[in-house]
Structures are given as structure tokens and as C-alpha cells.
Amino acid sequence: MTVDPKAKECMYWTKNEQWYRINKEKGCVELTDAAPDRARKSFEMYRKRNGKKST
């Protein structure tokens, strides 16, 4: 079984725990200032694929 490259890329932001945090008050995941550009693009791709609006 092969993984869709786009699906793999949209999860890139999870590669480093310093790039994101869980906001329990808002019930969502947020990127930190430490997240590089590629992780930010990946996170936006993830949100679009999962029907989430950008904050």
C-alpha cells in the first residue's frame, strides 16, 4: 500500500513537537513561532483537507 504524497505532506507539521501545541481552551491545535515555513504550509493544507478554517 502506498501513501498519497499530498496526505503525507499535510502532516509534515507534526514532525517536531516544538512546532505545535494543543490549545485546550479553544479545543484546537496551534502552530508555535518555532514552526518553519514548510510546517506552516503543511498545517494550512491539513486544515483545508479537514474542512477547518484558518485562524
When pLDDT is averaged across residues 33-43 and rounded to a whole number, the result is 98
Residue 1, pLDDT score: 63
Residue 11, pLDDT score: 94
Question: How far apart, in whole angstroms, are the C-alpha atoms of residue 4 and residue 33?
Answer: 28
3-state secondary structure of 47: helix
Q: What is the DSSP letter of 34?
A: T
Question: How far apart, in whole angstroms, are the C-alpha atoms of residue 17 and residue 52?
Answer: 21
Question: How far apart, in whole angstroms, are the C-alpha atoms of residue 7 and residue 18?
Answer: 21
Residue 53, pLDDT score: 65
Q: Of 42, 20, 18, whose CA–CA distance to 30 is shortest?
A: 20
